[in-house]
Structure 1
Amino acid sequence: MPELNRRHFLVTGLAAGAAAAVPAGAAHAQPDPVPDPVPDPAAESAQSLASRGLRTDPFTLGVASGDPDHDGFVLWTRLAQEPLAEDGMGGMPNRPFPVLWQVYADERCRRLVRAGVAVAAPEWGHSVHVEVGHLSSGREYWYRFRVGPYVSPVGRALTAPHPLSYGGALTMAFASCAQYEHGYFTSYRRMAEDRPDIVLHLGDYQYEYKRETYNSPGGNVRHHEGPETETLAGYRQRHAQYKADPDLQAAHAASPWLVVWDDHELDNNWADEVPEKPEIPQPGFLSRREAAFRAYYENMPLRRRSVPRGIDMQLYRRVRWGRMATFHMLDTRQYRDDQGCGDGYRDCPAAVDPARSITGAEQEAWLLDGFRHSRAQWDILGQQVFFAQRDNNAGPAKITSQDAWDGYVASRRRITQGWIDAGVRNPVVLTGDVHAHWASDLKLDYDDPTGPSVGSELVASSISTGGDGADSDPAAHPFLKINPHLKFYNNQRGYVLTRIERDLLTADFKVLPQVREAGAEAYTRATYVVEDRVPGVQQTYLRPLDPALRSRTMTAEETVRLETERP
């Protein structure tokens, strides 16, 4: 596959560089608005050129922003006249297109503060990534793109507070696991209506299966296009099918995102260079990995530090929200040792091998160094798989999921000991993957339930994976009895909405009654808080079981079966 060509970055870099052309001392001042439109002959000429070969609106995949810092963010779009074209090129002519980008100080797009031209190159799926800088810290901006006569939807972005400032309360949502076939993406719509300051997506943004290979318990409600994703064209087509969803577009347009992958962006339960089923010869797996990584970059609002290089992609990174929070975004797939005894629940000797790692040595050292240098009020780990121990056996044997941190016990202990030794003020782990809401206390030694809690874990259910799901009494789940550090469970679809203040983190576990039809309303099933310097979660609200849903409540046995049989 071709490397990202120099012209693509040259033009994009010049555009971003022009945005940055202000005195250093003015970086945090209010930018001077510029009347719109701007009489720029070069831009007008570029837009005239861009209109050639376009038959219809190319902004069918929406817009997005991401990876904000105190003076800017990444802007993203991808041109596609026919999003589901089998060749993955979205019905676009095989040539570069100059794309005008604009950043505004107001939602009605009247006060232009930055603008430039970037190139949407066919080698990169006609995607656009613009790193805008030298904006004011701690405020909202709005942005859009233009190609010829076509104008994109308007998106909302935010800059983080100044590095020495806490800023106001931070509203953060996080989510994972959106299987297109299993249900509608209404949770994304409800998340957009909440207008969080930032969204963390913790993996399984899209799924690789061909249609009706992975069926929800109630049956699928819509279908994937194309075969199982194994080629660049296939991954591009699948991303486009997801990105064309209006609810997902609304969530991207509402807030900047921090994204990390899990397994289904490539292959179920993959580990480094090992596919899900290593016993089946797959000589093309590394080519598949390269294609998946490339398509992921093309479709996400990521900075150039994440441009993939062959089969490698730098995705773990650190994003600071002033002094209020530091987000340590982890990659627990690309560098992990293969699961020791398969992917399911096992009593596995390899799980406690100190030589095994879920992060790899380099990422682990980076994370521990981040703990040592952190001065944030809240250190938040955005990552993929369950962190706390979940033993499903009440007897002496320890039977745990080998695909989660339970399969890498020494790795988990080193990370936990690292934040203890560094004196991290408030460590909070955010997790996806398991298609259910959970809340738990974190321990250094899970074999000593009376030992102190040393952190907190919040787990988001799926956006749609698993279909409607069902409500239940959280206390009825047998895992909570076997593992007393586990505090909450719910198997409905939804997301988690948090409010982060200096003295308190409040987490609302949002759920939907169903996803088989679009448009359901979201409600808060439970609320947990984490107090400043008080590790562990505390329940402040629990909504009673909805009588209208009692026909779809779950028994304890059903919840365990769903957990242990989940792909």
Structure 2
Amino acid sequence: MSEHVVRPSRRLVLKSLASGAGLALAGSRIGDVLAQGTAPAAVTSNRLRPLVPSGVMSGDVTATSGIVWSRADRPSRMIVEYSMSESFKSFERRIGPAALESSDFTARMDLTGLPPGADVFYRVRFQDLVNDKAFSEPVTGRLRTATLSADRPVTFVFSGDEAGQGWGINERFGGYRIYEAMRRESPDFFIHSGDQIYADNPIQAEVKLPDGSLWNNVVTEAKSHVAQTLDDYRGAFSYNHLDANKRRFMAEVPFLVQWDDHEVRNNWYPGQQIGPEEKRYQTRAISLLAARAKQAMFEYNPFRINQLDPEQVYRGFQFGPLLDVFMLDERSYRGPNSPNRQTKLDTDSQFLGPQQAAWLKQSLKASKAAWKVIASDMPISLVVPDGNPDVPKGTYEAWANADDGAPSGRELELMDILRFIKRENIANVVWVTADVHYAQATYYDPSRAKFSEFKPFWEFVGGPINAGTFGPNELDMTFGPELRYVSIPKDNPQNQSPAARQQYYGRAKIDPASRAMTVSLHDLDGKSLWEVKLDPEA
């Protein structure tokens, strides 16, 4: 349904008061009541009104727009009111789409015509489609549009890997504490670098820790087994919304999200058939599982859907003169996982695929921003073996192939991108990623590399948000990586629970005066562990 703006009038105020319809209108007593989170007298029972179990969320912000997302518990219509004032003294209302069974009662609205560089306050309610006098209580949120000014700083945070290895929401531990730490940074937006869910990792009520104590999880039926049906994947996404820290963060910070492997199944690639060694799956075709997972991912995130390709995940965002962000998709177009030693770039060795790679190169070339951040869901030089029981040993999952030599396999595609950046003299490119479940800062120096036709650049790794800690991974030297910081020791025990406090996120701040970008890496409570100031190339 096309959205439209309704401006309050005295006639509408009187009509709503008389009918008890529950419309929150500027200057009316009923508007004041709804702004305080209470309901009109016409409907007093939660049993009769729609509920909003997953809170609100925003994302894919531009200078003049932002997606607002929420979810109801029954067939209902989304209504969004927004204001430039937290008090909602004056506001606009937009009538949104119906939240139906076909979308698991999720709904999103693209708020357009917003002012640049502004805090926009919004509240979401749902109107019952059976009893149209029944409205949910309003749930409030805030998003920040991208600035067009060169005089305003830009701050963002990044991390990934959420609820993996059976480490779920432990309320005794404080839940997903890292979301609260990131919220306190008051960032302009958050890059979720993938593994938003672990569809292949069930969550049980208790897990015994090495010291004999218990890790206690919130449990749901959907997370008691691996995800295979559409409802299973939906249940995995909705599970993470049970965490109070995440809901609070969602309501205050816009998301830019991408996916990696665990949204579907560990280390998946298109066309894969799950082998007989993996006993947990009755559905063996990965492409079918991936289609269900992608639908759930789009339903449960504030994506701005590409009308030409409704399933496209990669996209770019402009944050004024200081920053452009390019979100990659390293799942949908990759060739099969293999020893990754091909000597030519073709359908077997591609990672981004030719269309996405061309988009990235041309977008980087067209960018006028001081800094260009590439959000990659997998790291460049860290070796990530494909350890699934149904694949041969010596099979690799990411860019690197552990041979330290000249580029081969998927490295050929990266070589082409890095060479293009140098040839076009594109300055100040930084990569951010997650996937490996620890934090790292890496400087890539062409003088140390087997292939040297590239400009020096940095890569920063965050994560996990709430998952097992692993690593550190082996380093492939093809592109001359130099480790500047690693958050864990070489002999670190694998799959450490969040109780070990080895959960990490990154923060980047761009100063408008110097145009320098300061990147820091933080633990789950926000303590800064390491930082570097990057001066822009002229």
Answer 1 or 2: which has greater helix percent: 1
Q: 1:428 aligns with which of 422, 427, 430?
A: 430
Paired residue for 1:418?
420
| 1:182 corresponds to 2:171 | no
Q: 2:397 aligns with which of 395, 403, 411?
A: 403
Paired residue for 1:441?
443
Change (3 A) 1:449 1:418: closer
Paired residue for 1:490?
487
Write the deviation string for residues 194-241 of structure 1: whole angstroms up to 9, x where unpaired. Answer: 211111101011111223599797575415533211101111112111
Change (3 A) 1:303 1:481: closer
Q: 2:334 aligns with which of 333, 336, 339?
A: 336
Paired residue for 1:173?
157
| 1:511 corresponds to 2:523 | yes
Q: 1:233 aligns with which of 231, 234, 250?
A: 231
* C-alpha separation in 2, matches of 1:321 and 1:187: 25
In the TM superposition, 1:315-354 aligns within 5 A as 315-341=313-339, 348-350=340-342, 353-354=344-345
**Secondary structure in structure 2 of the residue aligned to 1:68:** coil
2:384–2:398 contact (8 Å) kept in structure 1: no
Structure 1 counterpart of 2:104, which letter? G
Q: 2:528 aligns with which of 524, 543, 560?
A: 524
1:479–1:486 contact (8 Å) kept in structure 2: no
Change (3 A) 1:445 1:384: farther
* C-alpha separation in 2, matches of 1:401 and 1:38: 65
Write the deviation string for residues 152-196 of structure 1: whole angstroms up to 9, x where unpaired. Answer: 33111011123xx33411010111001164253100111112211
**Secondary structure in structure 2 of the residue aligned to 1:141:** strand
Q: 1:111 aligns with which of 68, 73, 90?
A: 90
* C-alpha separation in 2, matches of 1:479 and 1:304: 37
**Secondary structure in structure 1 of the residue aligned to 2:361:** helix
Change (3 A) 1:318 1:391: closer
1:319–1:327 contact (8 Å) kept in structure 2: yes
Structure 2 counterpart of 1:529, which letter? K
Change (3 A) 1:360 1:213: farther
Q: Compute the displacement of 1:45 (Å).
A: 9.1
Of stretches 368-377 and 207-216 in structure 1, the one that deviates more from structure 2 is 207-216
Write the deviation string for residues 259-313 of structure 1: whole angstroms up to 9, x where unpaired. Answer: 101111111111123256598695443332221111111110111327986xxx2
**Secondary structure in structure 1 of the residue aligned to 2:61:** strand
Q: Compute the displacement of 1:478 (Å).
A: 8.0
* C-alpha separation in 2, matches of 1:40 and 1:271: 58
Paired residue for 2:371?
378
Q: Compute the displacement of 1:146 (Å).
A: 1.5
Write the deviation string for residues 91-148 of structure 1: whole angstroms up to 9, x where unpaired. Answer: x3xxx31221111112233231443343212211111110111111111111111133
2:193–2:258 contact (8 Å) kept in structure 1: yes
Change (3 A) 1:419 1:484: closer
RMSD over aligned Cα atoms = 3.6
Write the deviation string for residues 6-29 of structure 1: whole angstroms up to 9, x where unpaired. Answer: xxxx2xx323xx48xxxxxxxxxx
Paired residue for 1:139?
118
Of stretches 224-233 and 132-141 in structure 1, the one that deviates more from structure 2 is 224-233
Q: Compute the displacement of 1:242 (Å).
A: 0.9
Write the deviation string for residues 469-513 of structure 1: whole angstroms up to 9, x where unpaired. Answer: 89xxx9xx985999651211103212111112352111121103x
Paired residue for 1:5?
none
Structure 1 counterpart of 2:482, which letter? H
Paired residue for 1:288?
289
Paired residue for 1:556?
none
* C-alpha separation in 2, matches of 1:306 and 1:251: 29
Paired residue for 1:304?
305
**Secondary structure in structure 1 of the residue aligned to 2:67:** strand
Paired residue for 1:501?
511
Q: 2:244 aligns with which of 237, 243, 246?
A: 246
**Secondary structure in structure 2 of the residue aligned to 1:305:** coil
Q: 1:222 aligns with which of 199, 205, 217?
A: 217
Aligned residues: 461
2:271–2:285 contact (8 Å) kept in structure 1: no
Structure 1 counterpart of 2:398, which letter? A
1:268–1:276 contact (8 Å) kept in structure 2: no
* C-alpha separation in 1, matches of 2:438 and 2:84: 39
Q: 1:211 aligns with which of 200, 203, 209?
A: 203
Change (3 A) 1:217 1:527: farther
Change (3 A) 1:277 1:425: farther
**Secondary structure in structure 1 of the residue aligned to 2:3:** helix
Q: Give structure 2 stretches of 5+ with no counterpart.
A: 24-41, 127-133, 169-174, 386-392, 402-409, 489-501
**Secondary structure in structure 2 of the residue aligned to 1:171:** strand
* C-alpha separation in 2, matches of 1:478 and 1:403: 13
Q: Compute the displacement of 1:349 (Å).
A: 2.5
Identity %: 21
**Secondary structure in structure 1 of the residue aligned to 2:440:** strand
* C-alpha separation in 1, matches of 2:53 and 2:290: 26
1:272–1:336 contact (8 Å) kept in structure 2: yes
Change (3 A) 1:250 1:400: farther
Question: TM-score if structure 1 supplies the norm length?
Answer: 0.73
